[in-house]
């Protein structure tokens, strides 16, 4: 099957590559010519585990192509729209890239083409896309919603082994065509759920907002535990074994970031207001998360009595989560900005995200290729991202390198009792702090 994917970002590149892997002839189209040039030179403009190898294999096999020319979509049976829909200042969704793609694409659509929107868009957008295409082309074009549920850092597995595939269409023929396309990924009896386009669009927002709500909930419980002497990890275990609740997304920390959860919470709240509904829960989810992003900086400030001028702080982890170089809405950025404003000197390390951070902060930070290098002469260590290589460090070496053995753990990586025995002052989320023995 000939497929076109408009947009070669996280979603578009993963989608196109995975579809090529199962034999489709795929062309990825992006208006960013620099990105297309990078891809055509055999490089990947994003970090996603396993993606580079998959792209190379399918390019070599002649199944995957990259271009900036939307005319390349002319003979495609299915065209996916996977362009960015970033947030505006008021939380609403900026659809300008989506509409620009539609305007450019419309003259090249084949007679029997199906346009599938993978971009995260407000409810009703699929219908508006169909109407706009009818206005431009003078004919009816099938438009469906097919939201993505990819996790950065695990996107290939999520596409190849989905929990479910959601298709929003009122056309039996469109549903059948997409069922055929996705059949290789649903061989373990995972469902393809056909529903209205409006329900599919809403499903994407509802899923992300519910996950965000679970994170904000456990973070608020963690803050209460910290005040009362309870241990949030014990509380998490106590509630997670309840089958109605479960453990997923019940990990306290320094707040969530990335390109999806923060944006989608605000976007759904803004959309709710257009429907005359005051989104009290969604607003609270956002506000709790914004407050949680300040947790690390606030604990560091209290520890040093508010005197951070010229204090050396090591920071481990800059990406919003492990497995990606994405720093959009990352809690680490909040920490770095606040500590710099207080006069602290920062030595930072991240396995893959440092170049993206350098573009923002330039020479205001010291960038360290090794996690141990960031600790040299440090008065404290702040852990913001739970990269696996941070889980079992050499604590004796750390203590030797640091000026003061103080750790502020925004991801609860370590056992407080072990940290006390190892001679560290240790702060973690929702658990009583410990002082070095």
State the Cα–Cα distance between residues 143 and 212, nearest whole angstrom. 29
Query: Do β-strands 2-6 and 25-29 pair in parallel, antiparallel, or remain unpaired?
Result: parallel
Strand-pair partners of 428: 409, 431
Given CA atoms 375, 380, 385, 390 in this order, what sign does their dihedral have?
A: positive
State the Cα–Cα distance between residues 242 and 234, nearest whole angstrom. 13
Cβ-based neighbour number of residue 202 at 10 Å = 20
State the Cα–Cα distance between residues 294 and 271, nearest whole angstrom. 27
| Contact assessment for residue 245 and residue 401, using Cβ atoms and an 8 Å cutoff | no
Phi, psi of 433 (to 5 degrees): -70, 155
Catalytic annotation, residues: 260
In angstroms, what CA-CA distances link 285 with 8, 211, 217, 416? 31, 10, 8, 28
DSSP 232-248: HHHHHHHHHTSTTT-ST
Structural tokens at position 153? 């850092």
Where b means 16+ CB within 10 Å and e means fewer, 343-360 reads: ebbbbbbbbbbbebbeee
Structural tokens at position 366? 């010291």
Task: Find the farthest-apart pair of alpha carbons in the chain and give their distance in angstroms, rounded.
Answer: 77
Chain-centre distance of CA 140, in angstroms? 35
Altogether, the residues listed in the chain come to a count of 437
Give, as one character, the DSSP assignment of residue 88: P
| Contact assessment for residue 339 and residue 308, using Cβ atoms and an 8 Å cutoff | yes
State the Cα–Cα distance between residues 357 and 335, nearest whole angstrom. 13
| Contact assessment for residue 163 and residue 21, using Cβ atoms and an 8 Å cutoff | no
Residues with Cβ within 8 Å of residue 300, at least 6 apart in sequence: 308, 313, 339, 380, 382, 408
Residues with Cβ within 8 Å of residue 291, at least 6 apart in sequence: none
């Amino acid at each position: 099957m000939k497929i076109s994917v408009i947009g070669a970002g996280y979603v578009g590149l993963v989608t196109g590559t995975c579809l090529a892997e199962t034999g489709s002839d795929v062309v990825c189209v992006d208006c960013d010519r620099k990105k297309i040039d990078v891809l055509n030179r055999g490089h990947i403009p994003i970090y996603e585990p396993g993606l580079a190898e998959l792209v190379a294999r399918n390019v070599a096999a002649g199944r995957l192509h990259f271009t900036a020319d939307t005319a390349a979509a002319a003979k495609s049976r299915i065209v996916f729209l996977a362009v960015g829909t970033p947030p505006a200042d008021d939380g609403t969704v900026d659809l300008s890239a989506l509409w620009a793609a539609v305007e450019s694409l419309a003259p090249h659509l084949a007679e029997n083409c199906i346009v599938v929107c993978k971009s995260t868009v407000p409810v009703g957008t699929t219908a508006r896309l169909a109407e706009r295409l009818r206005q431009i082309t003078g004919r009816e074009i099938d438009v469906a919603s097919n939201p993505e549920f990819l996790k950065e850092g695990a996107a290939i597995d999520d596409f190849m082994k989905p929990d479910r595939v959601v298709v929003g269409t009122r056309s039996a023929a469109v549903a059948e065509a997409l069922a055929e396309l996705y059949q290789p990924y649903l061989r373990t009896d995972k469902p393809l759920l056909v529903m209205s386009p409006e329900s599919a669009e809403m499903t994407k927002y509802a899923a992300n907002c519910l996950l965000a709500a679970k994170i904000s909930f456990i973070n608020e419980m963690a803050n209460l535990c910290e005040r009362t002497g309870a241990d949030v990890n014990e509380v998490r275990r106590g509630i997670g074994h309840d089958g109605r609740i479960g453990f997923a997304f019940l990990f306290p920390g320094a707040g969530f970031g990335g390109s999806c959860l923060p944006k989608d919470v605000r976007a759904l709240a803004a959309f709710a207001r257009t429907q005359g509904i005051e989104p009290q829960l969604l607003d609270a989810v956002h506000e709790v998360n914004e407050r949680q992003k300040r947790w690390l900086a606030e604990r560091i400030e209290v520890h040093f009595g508010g005197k951070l001028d010229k204090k050396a702080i090591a920071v481990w982890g800059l990406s919003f989560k492990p497995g990606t170089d994405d720093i959009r809405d990352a809690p680490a950025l909040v920490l770095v900005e606040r500590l710099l404003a207080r006069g602290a000197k920062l030595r930072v390390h991240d396995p893959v995200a440092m170049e993206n951070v350098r573009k923002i902060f330039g020479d205001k930070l010291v960038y360290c290729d090794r996690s141990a290098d960031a600790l040299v002469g440090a008065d404290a260590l702040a852990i913001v991202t739970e990269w696996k290589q941070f889980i079992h460090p050499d604590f004796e070496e750390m203590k030797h390198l640091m000026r003061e053995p103080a750790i502020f753990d925004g991801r609860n990586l370590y056992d407080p009792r072990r940290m006390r025995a190892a001679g560290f002052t240790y702060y973690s989320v929702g658990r009583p702090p410990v002082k070095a023995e």
